[in-house]
Chain A
Amino acid sequence: MRWVWKSMLFSKVTMVILLVLPILFLSLALPLFKSTVEDLQVPIMLVDSSEQTMVEELVDELEETEPFSLQVVNNLDLDVLARGEVEAIFEVTDDLETRILDGDTDELFTWYRHENSFADGLFKEHLASTLMEMIVKAESANLVMSQTDTFDWDEVFHYGQRYFEPDPIFQMDFQSFGEYGQEETHRQSEQSTAMYLLIIWTYCWLLMIYFTNYIYHWRGQQLFDRLSLYRYGRAKLYLYWIIVVLVIVFGFASVIGAILHSIDSQMVTWWQLMNELGPVLFISAVLILVSSLICRTRRGMLASTLSYLLGSVSVFWFISWGWLADNWFNYFFIPVWLL
């Protein structure tokens, strides 16, 4: 085992492919990855000159949503907007709480934006819907208080909170409220996780194709002829090959996983990666080995494995774009399992 490991790993080409390509791959993939994360972060400034508790509560609610980075200050400074540091500034009225309690919702905020502002409209919607929740809760608390005096206003107000929490029954409500809220971003991140898994799988698949070179080389050298004289000799070499390949590929995948995780802890955890990608990689290695057993010529093997790769990637995209209906035979292409 040790010797097969050594002989497969200690060659210049293998080293280059193992070390340089992942670095290249990462340096290409990471900026892409980072920019998608940063694009989602819309910088917004909230001005609250009288530091109201209602505003604090509102901010807590708002901050649960990822795509905005919220900054709360006491004084209005429009230069920040002019310099493009934030997309928009929202100034809160000094009497937010009393106005909400009264049910008077006109001009609660002053919305300052720049002509270059782009995604701040999303925040406005988000702010409005969050505020709506609070208003509805306040209204219902008012209603309850007018009917009975056994409850404290605050109690009823916070009790209303329950209806907006994502309990299974009320999930539909929640979604309609948070149009740009959690559900959406969650699905988005699942989608891009699958995409990253596909990219990692593609690289691993190519890596494994590269390693079949050894099998063809050994076969050409008549090494398998020689080993077939010994008990399980031939099978052992194939087994060692697949173990070495799996170790390398899993090592590669976990390094990538760790790097992705360190960039965004929500994106893909190491466990998630291994859970979803692990079985797929394992079966891929077996498939590659089988194809190199069936195809006696290197060319035949390359043709079949590369067209499988192409087919898989296409089917993967077609499914995620909704062009292809769910069908059992889609699962013939193993990357589809990642979706």
Chain B
Amino acid sequence: MIRLDDVGYKKKGKHILEGVNAHVEAGDSICLFGPNGAGKSTLLKVMANLIKPTVGVRHFHPKEEKHPIGYIPQQVALFNNLTVKDHLRFYQKMTKKHSTNYIEEMKLKLGLNEILSKRVDQLSGGMMRKVNLAVGLLHEPEIVFLDEAFVGVDLAAKHDMLKWLNQLNERGVTVVFVTHDWHVINQLAKKMWILEDGRITDQVKMSEINHLSSQKIAEGTALSKMFALRMQ
């Protein structure tokens, strides 16, 4: 669906991404993993076509216009003093493309119905993240990019969000996400790309991860760092 050929991104003389070759297939669910500043957010934006790579090419196959993209930014991108209902309506207007059945289902699954008339700045962090997710998914995207969408989310909310994303993935929606949360990776990821200093150092299937040689971990690859991060 998306192919990156030797993609690089340079800003203010600094290489944020370098020589990234990767492929996202329809129906995939990929976790981008790596330390802070590795370039995960930047890679996600390149894939979502929010920014153009300075080197290399991003291919989208077949036609981009027919496959709406969803992007859930790292920040909670909501209007502080609007209600949840206002937000849903605003994005319905903005995207024009929407099916009410799908929206009703999402509202139900994410438990938004109880907070519809609440203002966003009165919501808890977890609730805000739910709304942030919902408005990004409102136009039924076929591929979704989530940038640390689970930060500060309580377990119950996380459960709802993961369940809904898994359902979408089962229906064929491609999910690419950045997270440090091992629980989320376990529940959602089928593949994992390990990023370090703007390069993809490893691409692994989650089904293989358990069979990964202990040798590799001992050698100190990115994955060993990953486990270190998890334990902190």
Contact = CB atoms under 8 A, between A and B. Distances in A.
Interface string B138-151: 01000000000000
Contacts of A228: 50
B45 A225 contact: yes
Contacts of A34: none
A233 interface: yes
B80 A7 contact: yes
Given A227-B94, A230-B95, A236-B94, A222 B74 contact: yes
A220 B94 contact: no
A230 B50 CA distance: 11
Nearest to A217: B80
A225 B86 contact: no
A226 B82 contact: no
A7 B73 contact: no
Interface centre among A6, A218, A222, A233 (most CB of B within 10 A): A222
Contacts of A221: 73, 75-78
B126 interface: no
Contacts of A222: 73-75, 77
How large, as a class, is the contact surface on chain A?
20 to 34
A10 B81 contact: yes
Contacts of B48: 229
Interface string A4-40: 1011001100000000000000000000000000000
Contact of B73 (A4, A226, A231): A226
B89 to A, nearest CB: 7
B134 interface: no
Interface in B91-128: 94-96
Contacts, number: 59
A223 interface: yes
Contact of A226 (B80, B86, B136): B136
Contact of B69 (A3, A4, A229): A229
A231 B68 CA distance: 11
Contact of A11 (B45, B73, B80, B139): B80
B227 interface: no
B70 interface: yes
A6 B95 contact: no
B182 interface: no
Contacts of B95: 230
A230 B75 contact: no
A307 B55 CA distance: 39
Interface of A: 3-4, 6-7, 10-11, 218, 220-223, 225-231, 233, 236
Interface of B: 45, 48, 50, 68-82, 86-87, 89-90, 94-96, 135-136, 139
30 contacts: A3-B82, A3-B86, A3-B87, A3-B90, A6-B82, A6-B86, A7-B79, A7-B81, A10-B81, A11-B80, A218-B77, A221-B75, A221-B77, A222-B73, A223-B73, A223-B78, A223-B79, A225-B71, A226-B71, A226-B72, A226-B73, A226-B135, A226-B136, A227-B94, A229-B50, A229-B68, A229-B69, A229-B70, A230-B94, A233-B94
Q: Please list the 5 inter-chain residue pairs (A to B) with the smallest Cβ-Cβ separation, ordered nearest first.
A: A222-B73, A7-B79, A223-B77, A3-B90, A221-B77
